[in-house]
Structure 1
Amino acid sequence: MRCGLLALLLTAASGVQAEPGRHAKADVDAVFDQVVARYRLPGLALGIVEDGKVVYSRTAGELVEGEGRKIDSATLFKVASNTKSMTTATLARLVDAGKLRWDDPVVRWLPDFRMFDPWVGQQMQVRDLLIHNSGLRAGAGDLMLWPEPNTFTRADIIHGLAYLKPQRSFRAGYDYDNLLYIVAGEVAAAAGGAPYEQLVRREVFEPLGMQRCQVGQWRRDVVGNVAQPHMRQGERNIPVRSDGDVIAATTMDPAGGVRCSLDDMLTWIGAWLKPTGTDANWLSREQREALWAPQMPMPLSRRMREWDDSHFSAYGYGWRLADVDGTFKVLHTGTLMGMYSMVTLLPDKGVGFVILINGEGEDARTVLGQVLVKLYTRPDPSLTVAHYAGLLEQEDAKRPATEKAPDTSKRNKVTAKDLAPHLGVYRDPWFGEVSLCRDGDSVRLRARKSPMLTGIVQRAGKRWLVNWDDDSVDAEAWLDFPQARQMRMAKVDPQADFSCDYEDLAFTWEHGCE
């Protein structure tokens, strides 16, 4: 990439002028355009900060594809798991204020907290809630959070953790977790004397001036300018799980419930990269260092070694840490249905950038993030969007058949007679009640607390599977009956999102269908 000094302008909605950057606007624009075109995104927002100044801000697409309302730098996106760093910053502010310690036992603040192993529940500290070292399977219990809407509460989360069986010893390794961030939010509430949603506004949004960020309950017509998630159907982007008039507070808020604009997120990364004035006093140096200190080793993937010459990977408090081409990198991604985000910081270079997408953008996020990082760590004209997109396609082509979804296109209808020995109402100790009962001339599975998990049972080869009614629930589930009065579930596609943690369910038959 060639370098230059061009004055860059933020979008008209922000009214803020950007400073000259280290890379020509035309070069970054070309990368932006290539990603939008290659992945046919409904909307994309990208911003770059260098040396404490916004040097690039650009948006494209629509709040809802086809409706004509354009995305701008004030548009709200779901930042998903980038919320986690805001939750840990809230906790760090409480530590600075002397209201909390990282090594406090969780039970000091939440006496009813339990894990499957009672000893683990007693020994777990606040810091353990944040670094994915619980021993639980990745995404364990996430079916209490997603798909939304559902009726699980934070009390249900705390209760359910006692029934989730670990797959390894406590503190023995890294497995990504969401539920314990819900617990962390409740610890913050207990120590801070206010609900989580109020705390994060008080401790993060207000002091940093993140004026449009939203969490908890709010009205869409009052706030306005809110991007909606999309899913791909053939050649089209279809809005999915669109907001109603009132956006309710959700159980998952501390793990992934914040929405912010590009302008807000650029303010956020500016507070980390080169804090001055109020930002510098917002958090102590000691707590800034704690949040970015390696707390739990993470697997160093082959991609990281080959693409980035990385030598270490670790999780801090709400941040992922690694080295890229000899440069320290601090990063987190966010993924919800139809919404993808990425925050990347290169502190030694004074650089950070934000990516926000309101469509199915996993590969787009990966490719765009990778090309942008290389602009600063290893400038090379061959490291293009096409280059990294091609590497992803090669990875997919080489994936073993055991890691790919089986062909289930040939399906047979299932009747109540076919499943007669197994019909009834079942219960799992953390997920609750599901019914497997006749529905007309079919059999339907219904989850009582998660109404989107409703679907017709079909036969694919020798196995039963559930075809969910809502197409946005894209991870179909196998149904198995290992013993009389028992039912288990598993992902049909082994590469489906780990939050579809069907494998953690163990249902026991309770009574027949009414």
Structure 2
Amino acid sequence: MSGFIHRRALLASGAAVGLAAAVARPAWAQAADPLADLDGLVHAFMAEFGTPGVALAVVRPGQPDLTQGWGVRKLGSPEPVAPDTLFAVASNTKAMTAAALAILVDEGKLSWDEPVVRRLPEFAMYDPATTQAMTVRDLLTHRSGLPLGAGDLMIWPTTTHTRAEVVHGLRYLAPVRGFRTGYDYDNVLYVTAGQLIERVTGTSWESFVTERVLRPAGMAHAVPAPSLVSTADIAARHARLGGPVYGMGEMRVVERQETDSFAPAGGVQAGARDMAAWLHIQLARGLGPDGKSVWSEIQSNEMWAPQTLIGTSAGPTADEPGRSLFATYALGWQVFDWRGERVVAHGGAMNGQLTATAMIPGRGVGITVLTNAEEVGVQNGLRNALLDRLMGAPAFDWAAYYRNRGQTRREAALATLKAADTGKPVGGPTAPLARYAGLYRDPWYGDLEVRRDGEGLKVAFLKTPAFQGPLEPWGPDAFRTRFTDPTVEDAVLTFAVKRGRPVEVTAKAFSPLADFSYDFQHLKFKRIGA
């Protein structure tokens, strides 16, 4: 889930019911100072989407940094969000991994276009030709041919997979397109990039990123992985629970679903003051706060240079004034046009928190939005509103835009769920339940155990503690999971039965709205024992 925008989060992008009227011009739009009444703007977004806490970093030429928090770190507790309160910046970490590689390129210890296998001989993709052709640059550009989110169940939710196991699992993930022929977001190749850094430097990704990227950038409080957080000043996680699906219902505290194995793709924890320092070093093309070069301007240009086309459109409209003509992926960054100017940006999504970073290099302006709830309306709406303000663009009510969008998605989700409730598949097990019990193994994920539980069956994905619970018959030789953890998505498991004995299990997410990191559809478990 690390760090990309989740479809289920989009369901939660508005709390109000009913579509908004025509987009109105907010009162703050008349302000001469683009950050005048910032408190009013932030509180309006927080109230609209029920978000407990927000922190912002805004940097501008000739102006002091703005690093500020609003609201509380955790619902029901009084501790406020402050400039140093840590948030999971999730996939904003990808640019930090790219910066670590850029430093090694500057030092001549590797090159962007050398084969990965030269440094990681154990590295292998499904296709041997791709294995030999994959370069360091390719690890960062989402053009490997892997399907969207492939292998994410090795790093999400909380898992016991190691980074070495993630790299080993790549060889079993089948592509859906040709190498370098299109864009599909992945996380597992950034984990591989972390392993590459470790192999080249002889030190852990955590140590190298801390000592060579975070601290030289002036990110004094940031830590590279969840397990290294030692402060109590950390934002809690919140999401809507209690409704028909995750993302609907009341805002509640949820447990963190993070492990260090995914850290190179999305593990950094940082506050607003840290992120202001990150914006500064980016806009200064690698110059740290002491004036020394952390990475060269040449590498800064490399990291911002578009590599993979994400998509195109006809451009802005009255209803979508920020719609880009083009969107691309560079090295750990998205690059797109916003109201006629180049923006370098990235988002981050972790369970219970969403974040966004965006820079307008031509103006020397940068912003980071940190939130402690899964509300896209705050993450992207507040980002967009701040970009508009700092550019002097015509005002647009981004809160209304995301409120409308969220309501539309919720209505579609409810219609889908209603159809599912009335459309339970006909049929059931074709073999005695005892025969389904056993151990099944997928080559990239690992083991799944099915066992008798009273009169029924229970399942456990042995590498994912949250994936445990009863099985409910759901059509011929198929069962729906009822995971006991309400913050994870359920799946439908389908058994292949031969001569009265289940021998294989395939899977898919139960909800068509489940986030792409729940890549159950890429699993194929084969029976290995009773």
TM-score norm. by structure 2 comes to 0.85
Which amino acid in the other structure matches residue 30 of structure 1? G
**Residues 1:468 and 2:483 aligned together:** yes
What is the rounded CA distance, in whole Å, between the counterparts of 1:299 and 1:110 in structure 2? 32
**Residues 1:292 and 2:301 aligned together:** no
Look up the match of 2:211.
202
Which amino acid in the other structure matches residue 486 of structure 2? D
Given that 1:457 and 1:467 are in contact with CA atoms closer than 8 Å, whether structure 2 keeps it comes out as yes
Which amino acid in the other structure matches residue 269 of structure 1? L
What is the rounded CA distance, in whole Å, between the counterparts of 1:461 and 1:295 in structure 2? 45
Q: In structure 2, which of residues 515, 521, 530 is the aligned counterpart of residue 503 of structure 1?
A: 521
**Residues 1:228 and 2:236 aligned together:** yes
Given that 1:342 and 1:365 are in contact with CA atoms closer than 8 Å, whether structure 2 keeps it comes out as yes
Look up the match of 1:10.
none
Change (3 A) 1:411 1:440: farther
Q: In structure 2, which of residues 102, 107, 127 is the aligned counterpart of residue 97 of structure 1?
A: 107
What is the rounded CA distance, in whole Å, between the counterparts of 1:303 and 1:501 in structure 2? 32
Q: In structure 2, which of residues 193, 199, 211 is the aligned counterpart of residue 190 of structure 1?
A: 199
Which amino acid in the other structure matches residue 481 of structure 1? F
Look up the match of 1:38.
48
Look up the match of 1:258.
268
What is the rounded CA distance, in whole Å, between the counterparts of 2:67 and 2:185 in structure 1? 31
SS of equivalent residue, structure 2 residue 160: coil
Deviates more, 1:398-407 or 1:283-292: 398-407
Aligned pairs for 1:318-467 within 5 A: 318-377=332-391, 379-381=393-395, 383-393=396-406, 395-396=408-409, 406-408=419-421, 419-459=433-473, 464-467=479-482
SS of equivalent residue, structure 1 residue 500: coil
Deviates more, 1:101-110 or 1:369-378: 369-378
What is the rounded CA distance, in whole Å, between the counterparts of 1:398 and 1:359 in structure 2? 21
What is the rounded CA distance, in whole Å, between the counterparts of 2:446 and 2:512 in structure 1? 24
Given that 1:325 and 1:378 are in contact with CA atoms closer than 8 Å, whether structure 2 keeps it comes out as no
What is the rounded CA distance, in whole Å, between the counterparts of 1:386 and 1:4 in structure 2? 18
Look up the match of 2:18.
none
Which amino acid in the other structure matches residue 112 of structure 1? E
What is the rounded CA distance, in whole Å, between the counterparts of 1:311 and 1:326 in structure 2? 9
Which amino acid in the other structure matches residue 400 of structure 2? H
Which amino acid in the other structure matches residue 491 of structure 2? A
Given that 1:313 and 1:320 are in contact with CA atoms closer than 8 Å, whether structure 2 keeps it comes out as yes
C-alpha RMSD over aligned residues: 2.8
Q: In structure 2, which of residues 505, 513, 523 is the aligned counterpart of residue 487 of structure 1?
A: 505
SS of equivalent residue, structure 1 residue 308: coil
Given that 1:416 and 1:438 are in contact with CA atoms closer than 8 Å, whether structure 2 keeps it comes out as no
Change (3 A) 1:304 1:45: farther
Given that 2:222 and 2:270 are in contact with CA atoms closer than 8 Å, whether structure 1 keeps it comes out as yes
Structure 1 stretches lacking a partner, 5+ long: 6-21
SS of equivalent residue, structure 2 residue 459: strand
Higher RCO (CA 8 Å, separation ≥ 6 residues): 2
What is the rounded CA distance, in whole Å, between the counterparts of 1:393 and 1:339 in structure 2? 17
How big is the shift at 1:241?
2.0
Structure 2 stretches lacking a partner, 5+ long: 1-27, 243-248
How big is the shift at 1:219?
5.8
What is the rounded CA distance, in whole Å, between the counterparts of 2:112 and 2:508 in structure 1? 36
SS of equivalent residue, structure 2 residue 305: coil
What is the rounded CA distance, in whole Å, between the counterparts of 1:403 and 1:326 in structure 2? 38
Aligned length: 487
**Residues 1:316 and 2:330 aligned together:** yes
Which amino acid in the other structure matches residue 51 of structure 1? P
Look up the match of 1:74.
84
How big is the shift at 1:395?
5.0
Which amino acid in the other structure matches residue 162 of structure 1? R
How big is the shift at 1:373?
2.1
Which amino acid in the other structure matches residue 144 of structure 1? M
What is the rounded CA distance, in whole Å, between the counterparts of 1:397 and 1:336 in structure 2? 20
TM-score norm. by structure 1 comes to 0.87
Cα offsets for 1:473-500 (capped at 9, x unmatched): 1x21111224531211111222211110
SS of equivalent residue, structure 2 residue 215: helix
What is the rounded CA distance, in whole Å, between the counterparts of 2:496 and 2:314 in structure 1? 37
Given that 1:138 and 1:498 are in contact with CA atoms closer than 8 Å, whether structure 2 keeps it comes out as yes
Q: Percent identity, aligned pairs only?
A: 34
Look up the match of 2:3.
none
SS of equivalent residue, structure 1 residue 69: coil
SS of equivalent residue, structure 1 residue 278: coil
What is the rounded CA distance, in whole Å, between the counterparts of 1:457 and 1:303 in structure 2? 48
What is the rounded CA distance, in whole Å, between the counterparts of 1:359 and 1:96 in structure 2? 38
What is the rounded CA distance, in whole Å, between the counterparts of 1:297 and 1:219 in structure 2? 36
Change (3 A) 1:100 1:406: farther
Which amino acid in the other structure matches residue 136 of structure 2? V
SS of equivalent residue, structure 2 residue 312: coil
Change (3 A) 1:433 1:127: same
How big is the shift at 1:96?
0.8
Given that 2:56 and 2:272 are in contact with CA atoms closer than 8 Å, whether structure 1 keeps it comes out as yes
Which amino acid in the other structure matches residue 204 of structure 1? V
Given that 1:324 and 1:377 are in contact with CA atoms closer than 8 Å, whether structure 2 keeps it comes out as no
Given that 1:2 and 1:24 are in contact with CA atoms closer than 8 Å, whether structure 2 keeps it comes out as no
Given that 1:340 and 1:359 are in contact with CA atoms closer than 8 Å, whether structure 2 keeps it comes out as yes
Which amino acid in the other structure matches residue 45 of structure 2? V
What is the rounded CA distance, in whole Å, between the counterparts of 1:51 and 1:266 in structure 2? 13
